[in-house]
Amino acid sequence: MKVFKFGGASVKDADGVKNLVRVLKETGYNDTFLVVSAMGKTTNAMENVVEAYFENKSKIASALQEVIGYHEAILFDLFENKNHPVYSQVKTLFDEVKGFLAWNKSPKYAFVYDQVVGYGELVSTTIVSAYLSEMGIPNIWKDIRDLIKTDNSYRDAKVNWERTQQAVTDNVDVTKLNISQGFLGSDDNNFTTTLGREGSDYSAAILAFCLNAKSVTIWKDVPGVLNADPRNFDETQLLDYISYREAIELAFYGASVIHPKTLQPLQRKDIPLHVKSFINPVGEGTTVGKGNGIAPLVPCFIVKKDQVLIKLSSLDFSFIVENNISEIFKLFHDHRMKVDLIQNSAISFSVCLDNKFGGLDAMLQELKRKFKVVCHEDVSLYTIRHFNDDAVKSLQNGRTVLVEQRGRETVQLVVK
């Protein structure tokens, strides 16, 4: 069996859904598990619904209606018969969102987030599944929450591999075309969980591992893995083949084409990953597979924007040593801050963080009780794999470099 993953950009409108059908017809779809993300920017729009729920409930209806209207427009373009069952199926899903927001009593943001935002994937796959059937492609719609089982770390759930393997083995017909959602799972109480933002790639890898798939293909709006994101860099180059190790390194530093967790389950079973263009499905794309010695022949650029650089120093000029550092990292953990770079000297400690869960202000108050704290917000972290002098100079020009760190293969710059 093979696993195909289509992201939100590939199904952002009716033409995108029609193109997905074209891709399946050109590449073959027997014995395939299809993982499809929420359409377009639906996840962002559903996040607005959650924000309204906590900040101004009078705005919930309009925020949700924006999402409903967007999907209705796609439905109207795909299904001329307004009595098609898909219309009532989609309405039922949105009614479930409304019902949850009406009866929910939990004050926990992460819990509410997961119960609401995941409906983007449920609606998307419902529409795509119905359209596939309309086009004469029989398929089985699966609720991924019945397959991927996790703990209850809402917004960043950890997979229970044993239970997930059993669920996939028991419930997936590997001889048919299956379609399901990315990004989602469920906990022991069958509440919805999410695997982290952009987690649909990871979902595809989890399924591939449990199905012993022969390959995973991620369909993107780029021709494959490039040496830099074309939205941020000019004159990018396609990487034809890279090793699991190199792909994991690039993902770890923030390359957006492949989700950081995706590679590990694939590497464990030597399942090759293909990154291809849904615009040109017969193009070669990029293959990720075995080969520890295989590295790109050109510098690879990665940027993470909206980062936070914190510089800590002791109040009494004493050394910052192991007990201080362990206390600092516990605070990072408690406030769900992702560490992207660290640098320390005898009396200072610098760290570049991702404040994606909004814990920065509370954490700074705790740090200021024991350390002198200098905080730079809205900085960018640039990483160059396989750097050369010209590559480094291209990033330094016109920017203020706050931290620079070099290794044998990688250089990182925190710039303002």
Can you tell me the distance from the alpha carbon of 133 to that of 175, in angstroms, rounded to the nearest whole number? 17
Among candidates 330, 399, 277, 356, which has minimal Cα distance to 19?
277
Q: How many CB atoms lie within 10 A of CB 246?
A: 24
Of 48, 139, 95, 192, the C-alpha closest to 87 is 95
Task: Determine the average pLDDT of the residues in 325-350.
Answer: 89
Section 326-344 average pLDDT: 92
Confidence at 292, pLDDT banded by 50, 70, 90: low
Look at the block and give the residue holding tokens 């202000």. Answer: 361
Between 5 and 356, residue with greater pLDDT? 5
* Binding site per annotation, positions for ATP: 231
CB of 313 closer than 8 Å to CB of 345: no
In the numeric block, the tokens 């449990």 are attached to: 210
What is the pLDDT at residue 347? 78
Average of per-residue pLDDT across 186-210: 94
For residue 338, the cross-strand partners are: 354
- Render pLDDT for 357-385 as a digit per residue (tens, 0 to 9): 899 999 999 999 989 999 999 999 999 99
Question: Tell me, what's the pLDDT at 293?
Answer: 56
- Find the length of the chain: 416
Confidence of residue 295 (pLDDT cuts 50, 70, 90): low
Annotated binding site: 231
339-347 average pLDDT score: 87
pLDDT tens-place string over residues 23-41: 999 999 989 999 999 999 9
Cβ-proximal residues to 338 (8 Å cutoff; 6+ apart), any chain: 353, 354, 356
**Which of 83-97, 208-222, 309-323, 364-378 shows the lowest per-residue confidence on average (mean pLDDT)?**
309-323
Q: What is the mean pLDDT of residues 243-268?
A: 84
d(CA 232, CA 384): 14
Phi, psi of 35 (to 5 degrees): -110, 125
Domain 300-415 top-level CATH class: alpha beta
Between 145 and 291, the more confident residue is 145
Using DSSP, state whether 353 is helix, strand or coil: strand
- Its sign, for the CA torsion 244, 201, 379, 229, is positive
CA angle 169, 11, 177 (to 5 degrees): 30
CA distance 330 to 350: 15
Residue ranges per domain, the chain?
2-213, 300-415
Task: Say whether pLDDT at 297 is over 80.
Answer: no
Beta partners for residue 289, in sequence order? 243
Q: Average pLDDT, stretch 166-176?
A: 97
Q: Is the pLDDT of residue 256 over 80?
A: no
pTM of the model: 0.83
Query: Percentage of the chain with pLDDT > 90?
Result: 80
Give the contacts of 66 (CB within 8 A, at least 6 positions apart): 45, 48
Q: Any residues with CB less than 8 A from the CB of 12 and at least 6 apart, and which? A: 39, 40, 41
Q: What is the pLDDT of residue 253?
A: 84
Given CATH 3.40.1160.10, say whether it is the number of domain 2-213. Answer: yes
Decide if 192 contacts 114 (C-beta within 8 A): yes
Q: Check pLDDT > 90 for residue 280.
A: yes
Average pLDDT score over the chain: 93
